[in-house]
Structure 1
Amino acid sequence: FKLNTDGSSMGRDKKVVAGGILRDHQGSMIMAFSVSMIFCSNNMAETQTANFGLQWYIDYNIKNFNLEMDSKILVDMIKGINKPSWKLHHWIAKIQEKQKFFKADVIHCYREANMVADSLAKFGAIEDASRIFSQINELPRHVKGAFILDKIGMPNFRIRSQK
């Protein structure tokens, strides 16, 4: 099982959204979410997103899974390589507790490998509503497209404009 999460703070008003997808061992979607949150930093958004997804696994008593995040800073905090800031300490400790009990591996992945969770977070920012998706046909078109491309192993590329 695998949980991909992405939290983002975007726009002038710094709207904060969480996106994530839970998958089984074949890469099929179990559940996906897009949740609006209170105003906070990107790191806090990412941390709360991971906690939200982990809680779902706990509620369904699923063990031995991977948590993939595109924030290397937070992955290192969860693994104990770096110390979290006092604002994140409580949330990081909750994740570490759940991680140990449920034997979850925390893995860093590049942003390009986390496009489904990123698309879900962006969807939440645009729609300004929290949604839980239990079937692939419920996903917004651009999220479904990212999911299908990811499932068949198609690589994603990020193109930057030149300055």
Structure 2
Amino acid sequence: MVLNRDCWEWNKLRTQLPTDVDNKIIRHNFELKSNTDDKPIWTETQTGSFSVGTAWDKMQQRRPKNDILDNLWHKNIPFKMCFLTWRAIQDRLSIDSKVASLGISIEPGCYCCKGDIAGNTRENIEHLFSYGDLAKKIWSFFAAAFVSKIIPPIICWEIWKSRCSSKHEITKNKFTKARIGNSWSSLCRAMENAVNQKSAISVRWIKPPSMMAKLNSDGSSKDGFNLGQGTSNMAEASALLYGLTWCANNGINLVWGETDSLLLVKCIKREWKPPWKIAKEIQQIQNLVEENGFNISHCFREANKLADKLASFSHSTNGIQVFNSFSVLPRSVRGLINLDKWNLPSFRIRPVKPSLLVYDPP
């Protein structure tokens, strides 16, 4: 047995288990409960539940990262276009040069060129999508300035459609589906608006009602933090747990706790399943909330700047530091307190999806 009265028998543990297992037990600090059933935890997911996807990622040997292929897929572009571009990059299209390599006799010719080149050139990937008459004409137009990464899959798709229609049909396909204006200036304007469109809302710190204390908490993680090693979720949970414990120990029961971590609030209210790494801290916070009647709510990060600023100081201090008066606080923190005191707003700025660039594939 490696357990004795809900405690680890470290002497037996080190002799019976491999060293890497001992280190995992120490690092994750698993809580022992004699009256509850053991349950497996899949450490590759936040929830602790097994998934085939994470198991596959763990087992397979990943290839080196390819920036071109990683940036190829875009949620606003139909999958068939991105997939065709991927096939072109990987040389996986059934063009004449590939067919001829199988020993099948094919007359030289390019279906996207004119004149002597069209009859004397054997079709290949580079010629079709880069050096052919049609490809050079299109790329020279769009290469005049920076364009969004959604343009190349569209161009490759239309070049391929034009090639196939020229080879197998009588009428050539035309580029009429990309509605981006008739001039280069209209395209640039659409791209600029797509990048620069933003929305802004005013956000304020809300003063608590009379006779109630307000606790704003935030955690900061940078290779570890002042309350222990861990992720940003662990930092958020540990900070809130410390603040609520301090309030409970000092007899402050009318407390309004506020944090900018939506995950933390949802887990405390039992609306979401907590990540297994912070399940212990979430349980302790829930116990404090139920025993003392604390109220926990979510706020935007822009309304929690003071707590965020104080949390960032944890990287330059050792241990826990308590400020008992306004005058001993850092100057930048005192300024944020005055902004909240005067009820001045902050602005939450978020990008807006582009609206001028519309693509309607057939």
Are residues 1:7 and 2:219 paired?
Answer: yes
Higher relative CO (Cα under 8 Å, sequence separation at least 6) belongs to 1
CA distance in 2, matches of 1:82, 1:63: 26
Q: How much has 1:44 moved relative to structure 2?
A: 0.5
1:140 pairs, out of 330, 334, 337, with 330
Are residues 1:128 and 2:317 paired?
Answer: yes
Q: How much has 1:137 moved relative to structure 2?
A: 0.6
CA distance in 1, matches of 2:342, 2:292: 28
Answer whether contact 2:306 2:337 (CA < 8 A) is retained.
yes
Match of 2:69 in 1: none
Q: Show CA shifts across 1:16-53 (max 9, x none).
A: 2xxxxxxxxxxxxxxxxxxx122200001100000100
1:63 pairs, out of 242, 253, 260, with 253
Specify the structure having the higher radius of gyration (Cα).
2
Are residues 1:85 and 2:85 paired?
Answer: no
CA distance 1:128–1:72, change in 2 (3 Å): same
Q: How much has 1:89 moved relative to structure 2?
A: 1.0
One-letter identity of the residue aligned with 1:118: D
Secondary structure in 1 matching 2:307:
helix
CA distance in 2, matches of 1:62, 1:123: 26
CA distance in 2, matches of 1:82, 1:6: 20
Q: Show CA shifts across 1:115-162 (max 9, x none).
A: 11001011222x2333110101111000111111111111123668xx
One-letter identity of the residue aligned with 2:336: A
* Structure 2 residue runs without a partner (length 5+): 1-212, 351-362
**Two-structure CA RMSD over aligned residues (Å):** 1.7
Match of 2:176 in 1: none
One-letter identity of the residue aligned with 1:38: G
Secondary structure in 1 matching 2:340:
helix
Secondary structure in 1 matching 2:221:
strand
CA distance 1:59–1:138, change in 2 (3 Å): same
* Structure 1 residue runs without a partner (length 5+): 17-35
**Equivalent runs, 1:13-162 vs 2, <5 Å:** 14-16=223-225, 36-125=226-315, 127-129=316-318, 130-157=320-347
One-letter identity of the residue aligned with 1:8: S
Residue correspondences, number: 138
Higher strand share: 1
Q: What percent of counterpart residues are identical? A: 39
